[in-house]
Amino acid sequence: MLLEIRGLSVDYGLGDQPVHAVDDVSLTIRRGEVVGLAGESGSGKSTLAYAVTRLLRDPGVITGGEAFFYDWPKGSYRGTDADGTSSQPRLVDLLTEDRDVVRAVRWSDIAVVFQSALHALNPVLRIGRLIDDVLKTHDKTMTRAQRLARAKELLEMVGISADRLNSYPHELSGGMRQRVMIAVAVALHPSLLIMDEPTTALDVVIQREILEGLMELREQLGFSVLFITHDLSLLIEIADTIAVMYAGRLVEKAPAKALFRAPRHPYTYGLTRSFPSLHGSKKVMVGIEGSPPDLRKVPSGCPFHPRCAWAMDICKTQDPPVLTLHDASGGREVLCWLQDGKHEVPPELNQVPPAAGTVAALPSMRGRRP
Amino acid sequence: MSEREDVPLLEAVDVTKHYRVRVGRMGRSIVHAAENISVALYPGTVTAVVGESGSGKSTLSRMLARTQKLTSGKLCFQGEEVVLTKRVPADYRQSVQLVLQDPFESLNPVHTVRYILSRPLIIHDRTGGNVEEAVLNLLRRVALEPAEQFIGKYPHELSGGQRQRVSIARGLAVQPKVLLADEPVSMLDVSIRLGVLNLLADLRDRERLAILYVTHDIASARYLADTIMVMYAGKVVEVGPADSITNAPAHPYTKLLLSAAPDPDADEKVWPGAAGAPPSLVQPPSGCRFHPRCPYAMPICSTDEPPAFGIDERHTAACWLHDPAPLELSQPGHTASLTEGPPESGERT
C-alpha cells in the first residue's frame, strides 16, 4: 500500500451552494502500480490530486475523508530492504498533518507533473538552475558538484543531452519541456508520481515517446504512477488499474483490460464506445448522448441518469451504492443500481472479462521494445 | 451554377505558403509552412488532413478559406480558377466557411447565440424575412434542441460540445458548399466528440457538403473521412482512401503516426521509436523531409525530393521506396511492403 484515500470530498466555495467537485471518493494505490484516473473536464480528477497533495487553493475546501500516505524507507520499493528485512512504513496523514510535514513529503515522496510544462517551468531560470534548486531545497547535504552531476544524470535519464542544462525553457520543444518536468519530478526518488494530463498538449508521436520513456523509468526506479487524463484509450495501454470519475464521483474501478473489455457502469461503457478504432469495419458510433452535468446543478440520485440508456426510477431519486464485484478479472468497484443483484443486468454491461492472468501478464508496456 | 458530383467544389493546385519571419534584429528568413499541396474537395465527401503540429495542415485550411494569401499556386472553385484578389468576394466567403478549433475563443462571450447566429444571416441577406425563425432553424440543423431554449444563451452557459455546434451552425448560416473544419473536436470531451463528428457526417450526407477535416487524430480521420491526406513538415506524404491509409500505410511517416496512436485493441504494440523530431521549417532537410528520421532512408532520399508514386488507383505516396523504376543508386528489394518492418541495416546504406 502506498496511498489510501477514503471518502474524500472536496467543495469549491462555502455558503449555500458549494460545488461538490469530489464527492466521497475512495482510491488506493499500491506500490509499483500504475493507476489511471479517467474523466471528462469537471469530473473532479485534478481536484482529487490537488487535494491529496494539499495543493488545493481557495475556494477549494476539503470537507471530508482521509488520505494516508505510506512513507516506506527509501530503497525498499520492491517490498523488502536491501538487507532482506521487511521495513515498516511511516504513516502520513496528508489531510490533517501540519503543512510543513506535507511539504516535505511532497516532491521527495509524492511528485506532481502538470499538464503545461511551459507554465510550470520558471521561464527566467536555466534548466540546470531549476534542478539545482530542487536538490538544494530538499537535500542540504549535497555539494554543488554533486548536484550538478545529479542534474546531468537526471537529464540523460529522460533522454536529453546534458548540455541542455544551460538552456532556458523556451529554447526547448514541448516534448523536451515535459521530459524536463519528469526529470525534475523523479529527482528525489519519489515513490509516487502524480501526472496531471502530462501529454495532452503534445503530438501523438511525442506523447508516445514520453510514455515509453516514463514506463522505462518506472521499471528502473520502481515508483507508482497516478496518471490523470481524459483519454481512456491511452490509459488502457499503460495502466494496471483504471478509475473512472463522473461529476465528482468514482463510478467504476477495475483492472485496465477488464474495464475496457467488460465495463460494468453505463458511463464506462459509453466511454469505451467513444473513440473510433484503427481496426475492423467502420461502424457508426454514438458516443454518449447529452453533455456532462453542470456541477452547480448535479442531477439527483445517480448523476449520470439523464444520459443513461438504462436509467430506472430508483436512479433518479437515490444515490447508487458502491458495489464490489468479483469476477474472473479480479475485484472491481462500481457505482450503479443495475449491478446490485436485484436488477436485470443488460448484456452490454455483463460481458465476460478477460481472466486475471492475462491482465497480470501485461502489467504495463514492459518489454515492448523490439 | 452547375452542381456536378464529379467536379471538385474546391480544388487547390500546387499551393504554397511561405511566412516571412524576422530573426534577431536584422535577419529575415522564410518559414516553408506548406509547399506544393494539391487537394480536391468533392461534394458529399470528407477529406481528412492528418499531421502533427507544424505540418502545415492548418495553413492549408487557411489558404483554402483565403484568410491567408497564397505564395504560389491556384485555387479552383467548381472547376473555374479563382481570381485571387486581395479582397475576398462575398460569394466566395459564402461558399467556403471555416470552423475553428476552439469554441471557447471563437465565439464572442458578450453576445447571445441569437446575435452570433443572426449576424451572418443579416450580412449575407439570408434571413428570409424572419431572423428569429432562421436562427431557430440553424440550431435545429446542428441538433441543438429545443432550439427555443438555446437561442437566448450566452456562450459561457453552453458546454463545449454545444458551443462547437453553435460554431458549426454559424458556418452553415450562409449555406456554404464547402466546410473547412480545423480540429473541430480536439478541445472537446471524449464522450461528446463523436456527436460532433456524426453531425459532420450527417451534413455531408444530407446537404452534400464538401468537408475538409483537419485533425491530428488518425483514428477519427479513419472514422469520418472518405479520403485521408497525411502531411509532414509542410509536404503531403501520402493520400488515399481512408481504409487503405490506415490498413496498409505506404509511407514510413504514416506508419509512425499509426503506431504512435493510442490503440487499446492492440495487445502487444511495437513502438519503433521516432528517432528525432519534426524538422525546422526555416531550413527543411533536402530531398525527402522525413529522411533524417526514416528507418528506410536510402541515399537518394537525402538528395532528391520524391514525387507522388501511385500505390494503386487512388492511393499515392511521396516516397522513393515506391519508385516503380528504381534508379541505380537505390538498392534492390526496397519496394518491400512496409508491414514487414524495417529492413536489415545492411540494406540501408
Summarised one tens digit per residue, pLDDT across range B167-200 is 999 999 989 999 999 998 887 878 888 888 999 9
Please list every residue in chain B whose beta carbon sits closer than 8 Å to the beta carbon of residue A205.
52, 256-257, 260, 274
Interface test with B, best of A257, A275, A289 (most B CBs within 10 A): A275
Whether residue A292 has a cis bond before it, omega within 30° of 0: no
Architecture per CATH, domain B41-69+86-231, reads as: 3-Layer(aba) Sandwich (3.40)
- Chain A residues inside the 8 Å CB shell of B233: none
CB B215 within 8 A of CB B194: no
Residue range A1-109+191-370 forms a domain whose CATH class is: alpha beta
Inter-residue contact A8 to A62 (CB < 8 Å): yes
pLDDT of residue B339: 45
From chain A, pick out residues whose CB is under 8 angstroms from the CB of B223: 276, 282, 285
Bridging pattern class, strands B72-77 and B178-182: unpaired
User: How distant is the Cα of A291 from the closest Cα of chain B, in angstroms?
Assistant: 7
Report chain A residues whose CB lies below 8 A from the CB of B261: 204, 278
Contacts of B105 (CB under 8 A, 6+ apart): none
Which stretches does DSSP call E strand in B216-320?
A: 227-232, 235-241, 309-312, 315-317
CB pair distance less than 8 Å for A365 and B269: yes
* Residue in A with minimal Cα distance to B342: A370
From A67, A51, A2, select the one nearest A196 (Cα to Cα): A51
10 Å Cβ neighbour count for A100?
8
Give pLDDT, residue A326: 83
The verdict on a CB contact (< 8 Å) between B262 and A209 is no
Q: Is the pLDDT of residue B239 over 70?
A: yes
- What value does the mean pLDDT take over residues B152-158? 89
Interatomic CA distance for residues B330 and B347, integer angstroms: 10
ipTM comes to 0.81
pLDDT value for B337: 45
Subunit contact A212:B271, Cβ cutoff 8 A: yes
Nearest to B277 among A175, A284, A369 (CB): A175
Q: SS3 for A231?
A: coil
pLDDT band for position B342 (50/70/90)?
Answer: very low
Q: Which of A203, A209, A278 sits opposite B219 (nearest CB)?
A: A278
What is the structure's pLDDT at B3? 59
Contact yes or no for A178/A210 (Cβ under 8 A): yes
Asked if A278's CB is within 8 angstroms of B263's CB, the reply is yes
Please tell me which residue of chain A has the smallest CA distance to B222.
A278
The set of cell numbers assigned to A159 is: 533522454
Rounded Cα–Cα distance for residues A354 and A262 (Å)? 8
CA distance linking residue A334 with residue A321, whole number of Å? 8
Q: What pLDDT does residue B321 have?
A: 92
The confidence score (pLDDT) of residue B249 equals 93
The whole-number pLDDT of residue B269 equals 63
Residues of B in contact with A286 (CB under 8 A): 194-195, 198
Run of H or E residues at A315: helix A313-317
**The CA-based dihedral angle spanning residues B115, B117, B123, B127, taken in that order and rounded to the nearest 10 degrees:** -100
Contact A370 B219 (CB under 8 A): no
Check A278 against B256: CB less than 8 A apart: no
CB contact under 8 A, B193 and A279: no
Q: Residue A296 contacts by C-beta under 8 Å, 6 or more apart in sequence?
A: A17, A19
Peptide bond into A353 cis (omega under 30): no
Is the pLDDT higher at A364 or at B23? Answer: B23
Q: Please give, rounded to a whole number of angstroms, the shortest distance from the CA of B307 to a CA of chain A.
A: 25
pTM for the predicted model, two decimal places: 0.85
- Domain map (residue ranges) of chain A: 1-109+191-370, 122-187
Rounded to the nearest angstrom, the minimum Cα separation between B130 and chain A is: 29
**Burial environment of residue A112 by CB neighbours within 10 A (0 to 12, 13 to 18, 19 or more):** buried
Q: What is chain B's mean pLDDT, rounded?
A: 86
Minimum Cα–Cα distance from B51: chain A residue: A203
Question: What cell was used for A361?
Answer: 501478464
Categorise residue A360: left if φ over 0, alpha if ψ from -120 to 50, beta otherwise: alpha
Q: How far is CA B283 from CA B33, B55, B78, B277, B280, in A?
A: 11, 14, 36, 14, 6
**Nearest residue to A245 (alpha-carbon basis) of A81, A46, A32:** A46
Cα A175 to Cα A182, A229, A369, distances in angstroms? 11, 17, 20
pLDDT at B200: 93
Q: Give contacts of A231 with chain B, Cβ < 8 Å.
A: 190, 262
A370:B261 CB<8 A: no
Min Cα distance B9 → chain A (Å) is 26
Q: Do B191 and A279 touch (CB under 8 A)?
A: no
Q: Which of B195, B223, B257 sits opposite A204 (nearest CB)?
A: B257
The ranges assigned to domains in chain B are 41-69+86-231, 285-348
**In Å, how far is A252's CA from the nearest CA of chain B?**
16
Do the Cβ atoms of A217 and A186 come closer than 8 Å? yes
Question: Given an 8 Å threshold on Cβ–Cβ distance, is B190 in contact with A365?
Answer: no
Are B192 and A287 inside 8 Å of each other by CB? yes
Residues of A with CB under 8 A from a CB of B: 40-41, 173, 175, 203-209, 212, 230-234, 236-237, 260, 270-271, 274-280, 282, 284-289, 291-292, 362, 365, 368-370
CB B237 within 8 A of CB B322: no
Can you tell me the mean pLDDT for B41-47? 95
The closest of A171, A169, A131, A161 to A148, measured between CA atoms, is A131
pLDDT in tens, chain A (370 residues): 899 999 999 999 877 788 889 999 999 999 889 999 998 888 888 899 989 999 888 888 999 999 999 888 765 544 444 555 566 788 888 888 888 888 888 888 999 988 777 778 888 999 999 999 989 988 888 999 999 999 999 998 888 888 889 999 988 888 888 889 999 999 888 999 999 988 877 888 888 988 988 999 998 888 999 999 988 988 998 999 999 999 999 999 999 989 998 999 999 999 988 888 888 777 888 888 887 888 888 889 999 999 999 999 999 999 998 998 887 777 889 999 998 888 888 888 888 887 665 444 344 443 333 3
Residues in chain A within 8 Å Cβ distance of B161: 291
Which pLDDT does position A83 carry in this prediction? 54
